[in-house]
Structure 1
């Protein structure tokens, strides 16, 4: 099942795109903590899922981090990326890319991105407005264009 499909199903099930509300509805505990230079991380202890968010981040950045870590909780519930990064040679790039894509699709529906594009904004301007990388904006556009073509 694609990341987009999982995001769409989750939004319908929870009737929201707010990552904090979704986490609460799924029984995932969100903790705001002083984490220094770490923005956030996902953990699972005794089958209880936690999202840890740096309390010193702006509210918007906390929202993005929550959505990213929610991506880990949904897409890779048993993976421990901090452990993998510190103790193995396993590349966590794929897991991080998928969590970033989950965050982008959750927080920025294609209609929002397409509205900016139709108003003449460039890929880089849209990325700046949405707080995303240009690659994530391009991913959103490509993902929804691919699905539009498939449903035609």
Structure 2
């Protein structure tokens, strides 16, 4: 599945000539809203009546808002009709797979492979790419 996600990210970036998750969402007609959400909620994706929405917690740093946007964009692109909050609350289905795929999408979108040097630490790679270190767990390093 990671290969499919990588191809999807590459095609989107090439078609729209950007790796910025906010610009990609706009070009894909996905509405983005910044809201003062509960501190435990970074953001969410919602599909309703053929409209796509991404809500992002306005209390987050700009780095985290960008990361959350990329993650939720992953949901919008990879599983546009899935309602993960509903699945988590009302079914026995695991949403872990969907979350891993969305995190992988975000990592592949936000981390520039060309910025990675063989001697870089995870912290250095995260700093260079303006992403949280935790996101690196979902990125497969091909240069190291």
TM-score normalised over the length of structure 1: 0.83
1:55 maps onto 2:31 in alignment: no
**Relative contact order, CA 8 A, sep 6+: which one is greater?**
2
Match of 1:10 in 2: 12
1:31 maps onto 2:33 in alignment: yes
Match of 1:125 in 2: 123
| TM superposition shift of 1:140 | 2.8
1:84 maps onto 2:82 in alignment: no
CA distance in 1, matches of 2:35, 2:123: 32
**Higher radius of gyration, 1 or 2:** 1
CA distance in 1, matches of 2:91, 2:31: 27
CA distance in 2, matches of 1:66, 1:51: 7
Q: Which runs of 4+ in 1 moved over 6 A?
A: none
Structure 2 alignment gaps of length 5 or more:
none
Aligned alpha-carbon RMSD (Å): 1.7
Match of 1:98 in 2: 101
Equivalenced residue count is: 137
Match of 2:141 in 1: 141
Change (3 A) 1:16 1:128: closer
CA distance in 2, matches of 1:62, 1:125: 19
* Richer in helix (by share): 1
Contact 1:42–1:49 (Cα < 8 Å) also in 2: yes
CA distance in 1, matches of 2:67, 2:34: 14
Contact 1:27–1:49 (Cα < 8 Å) also in 2: yes
Structure 1 alignment gaps of length 5 or more:
146-152
| TM superposition shift of 1:91 | 0.4
